[in-house]
Amino acid sequence: PFAGRPAAVRTSSPMHATRRVFAAVGPYLLAALAIVLVWQMAVTVLAPPVTILPPPSVVGATFMEELLSGDLLTNAWVSIARVVVAWLLSAVIAIPLGVVMARSRAAERFINPVVEIFRPISPLAWIPLAILWFGIGESGKVFIIFVATFFPILLNTVDGVKRIDPVLVRAGRVLGCDTQFDLFRRVMLPASLPSILVGLRISFGTGWAAIIAAELVAANSGLGYLISDGMEILRSDLVIVGMIVIGIIGVLVDSLFKLALTRFE
């Protein structure tokens, strides 16, 4: 009597997968369609010069031109690489420092005021100093992104470690975590990982926004450079293409973080 059920499951699984994909992608497609429609209506009604607001068809043609030439992929990869390097550097420093602040009141009393002084300062304000300290090479751009990504990771790590049940920590010590490193690796990190992932997700977004500012100054590659170059030569279609790619990559990366976070729900 149950012989037909596996076939039914196999038949329905592709449809189920299709519905899941549409449920995830559909809202973004509808939002993109709505933006394009409003954009086209604004161009039709207001009839602005192409240098100010080009129609979607012109931007679409420029997008394909840049994509087929390889310049768009090259600039996107350069920007992603800069953000990832700074983001990983922030994580390597901020996560252990956050654990120390959460576990030691003396360390928190000393470090937290410094953090609160620097945290409100916009990464844009660091651009002149970054140029003076590091020149116009990669180090200055990575530094600006580091400033943007550091604090969300640090604060979420502190919050996640502070929320760990003390019973888990005591159980870890009883079960053989003799050193603080073992306790961190086997108890604290797994227990605080959801909060740390939220901090990593937020920090990547702030870093992705900061890379544009970093590349607007003294850069010869990257999406920020593409936008700046389009602005200088009055090619608003290039500017919009750069903005579109930034949005697409941001959505894709954020979706990966959401997928990772669902494993801890």
Q: How far is CA 39 from CA 33, 59, 236, 262, in A?
A: 10, 11, 14, 35
Whether 195 contacts 160, CB under 8 Å: yes
Instruction: Give the pLDDT confidence of 42-91 residue by residue, as tens digits.
Output: 999 988 888 888 999 999 999 999 999 988 999 999 999 999 999 999 99
| Long-range interactions of 107-112: CB distance < 8 A, separation 24+ | 108/158
DSSP letters of 143-198? HHHHHHHHHHHHHHHHHHHHTS-HHHHHHHHHTT--SHHHHIIIIIHHHHHHHHHH
Q: CA–CA separation, 244 vs 250, rounded Å?
A: 10
Q: Is the dihedral of CA 192, 195, 198, 203 positive or negative?
A: negative
Whether 203 contacts 153, CB under 8 Å: yes
Of residues 140 and 173, more confidence is placed in 140
Model's pTM, two decimal places?
0.81
Q: CA–CA separation, 117 vs 128, rounded Å?
A: 19
* pLDDT score, position 89: 96
Whether 262 contacts 201, CB under 8 Å: no
Instruction: Give the pLDDT confidence of 95-131 residue by residue, as tens digits.
Output: 989 988 988 889 889 999 999 999 998 888 888 888 8
Whether 196 contacts 95, CB under 8 Å: yes
Average pLDDT value for the chain: 84
